[in-house]
Structure 1
Amino acid sequence: MDDFIKQYPIYTEIPVAWGEMDALQHVNNVVYFRYFESARIDFFNQINLFSELQTANIGPVLADNHARYKRPVTYPDTLLVGVTISDVQSDRFMMHYTAFSQAQQAVTTLGSSLVVMFDFKTGKKSKLTGKLLDSLKSHEKQV
């Protein structure tokens, strides 16, 4: 687990709930997108991305979302979902998620999202501000 935390200094701890398991007695595949969402929101809060939404009415929307399931997860467990950023452009970036099971001491799921900045006033995509662009680039990792 220490190696995971060194590799992913930005991560979110998520306890697995009993109700997230399906009839096959493992966490249902759609639940991972909620886990990724929680990690994404944590990351956005850390870089103050939501202050843009409040001041300029510009914020992130998902253009694409993927998950790759490597190992089933069951209750009880706690996942650490690490976040990295790549492919930062003027109006978009990729987020990568790695879910690590504390019970299994192994990576269970990988995911990614293409995030595009959106102007909620005009209904069109928007550029990242210089401040956000710099912040994202400081977290960017080559994948």
Structure 2
Amino acid sequence: MAVRWSDMDAYGHVNNARFLTLYEEARVAMFFVGARAQGLTSFEEGIVISRHEIDYLRPVDYGEAVRIDLWISELRAASFTVSYELFDEGVLASRAKSVCVPYNLEKQFPRRLTEAERDFLKPYLEA
């Protein structure tokens, strides 16, 4: 993920709130770009975040792109947890988790994961 000039705070580090944006971009690439490439479009019906958790391990300065590894750390009937690690110049700088809830945006209520969604997520499930 590219670090943008607008991600910086007054100290020249990536602002703590911008870590969420970087994690979001990685997650969206997985759910929309990756899933769509496999013919799965049901994630586009809606996903909401019920919880974020971030540990900041070291500052990240403006410069090279950061690497974000992500995987599914928990898979339930009506939610799943995405875990992340953000590396800056090969050094772990942050860990995070997002609890995602499939959501019917049209009818405004949570829904269960479909079998196709579960099948898409299973290869990313932490063993």
Q: Is TM (by shorter chain) over 0.5? A: yes
Contact 2:35 2:41 in 1 (8 A): no
1:1-143 aligned within 5 A = 14-44=1-31, 45-48=33-36, 51-53=41-43, 58-102=45-89, 105-142=90-127
Q: Which moved more, 1:128-137 or 1:42-51?
A: 42-51
Shift of 1:91: 1.1
Give the unaligned 5+ runs of structure 1. Answer: 1-13
Shift of 1:118: 0.6
Shift of 1:112: 0.7
Contact 1:26 1:75 in 2 (8 A): yes
The percentage of counterpart residues that share the same residue type is 26
Contact 1:91 1:127 in 2 (8 A): yes
TM-score (norm 2): 0.89
Distance 1:81 1:18 in 2: 18
Q: Spell out structure 1 runs of 4+ moving beyond 4 A.
A: none
Shift of 1:47: 2.4
Aligned residues: 124
- The two structures, once aligned, show a CA RMSD in angstroms of 1.7
Q: Quickly say closer, same or farther: Cα 1:34–1:50, change in 2 above 3 A.
A: farther
Q: Which moved more, 1:35-44 or 1:18-27?
A: 18-27
Shift of 1:99: 0.5
3-state SS in 1 of match to 2:102: strand
Query: Can you list the C-alpha shifts for 1:36-55, whole angstroms capped at 9, x where unaligned?
Result: 0000001112123971155x
Q: Quickly say closer, same or farther: Cα 1:29–1:101, change in 2 above 3 A.
A: same
Give the unaligned 5+ runs of structure 2. Answer: none
Shift of 1:122: 2.1
